[in-house]
Amino acid sequence: MARYIDEILQPGERVLYSTNAHWIFYFPAIVAWIVAMALFVASRQTTIYSIMVLCLFGSGLVALVALYWTVQGWFHRFTTETDVTNLRVVHKTGFIKRRTFEMALDKVESVDVNQSILGRILNYGDVTIRGVGEGIETIGTVDSPLAFRSSITTR
């Protein structure tokens, strides 16, 4: 399956920078997998049958939730593209229902980065792009937001 940016490039346009949603989208799934494993290990440590069955049932239930969150996080990352070309900024989300945002680089007025403490540590954040007569667009949970901002503002 081709990337969206490859389908819409204009003649003479080239991709300067590509980024994606940060892996933090997997965090709920990671926590759920850890809880599922802990419940499974707890079921093997007990000799009381009813507690063992309860732990195994809980482990299976939490593993199903973890699998759902893993697939959901993967699908979000798979269907999200954020690129900077020599002419514009392009952001696409969605698979069947697609939402795109494009802004010409010469229309970009400012690029703001908002990072939490965890975002600073793990290198992700929200990037807000303000355009002259184009409006405001916020792209959430971008991987390496400072490098993304620099690729927009450096010409």
Q: What are phi and psi of 154, to 5 degrees?
A: -85, 120
pLDDT value of position 88: 94
Rounded Cα distance between 154 and 115, Å, is 21
pTM equals: 0.82
pLDDT tens per residue across span 76-89: 999 999 999 999 99
pLDDT value of position 1: 66
| Tokens standing for residue 155 | 């010409």
When pLDDT is cut at 50, 70 and 90, the band that residue 130 belongs to is very high
The per-residue pLDDT of the chain, averaged, comes to 93
Rounded Cα distance between 139 and 5, Å, is 16
When pLDDT is cut at 50, 70 and 90, the band that residue 51 belongs to is very high
Nearest Cα to 98, choosing from 85, 114, 80? Answer: 80
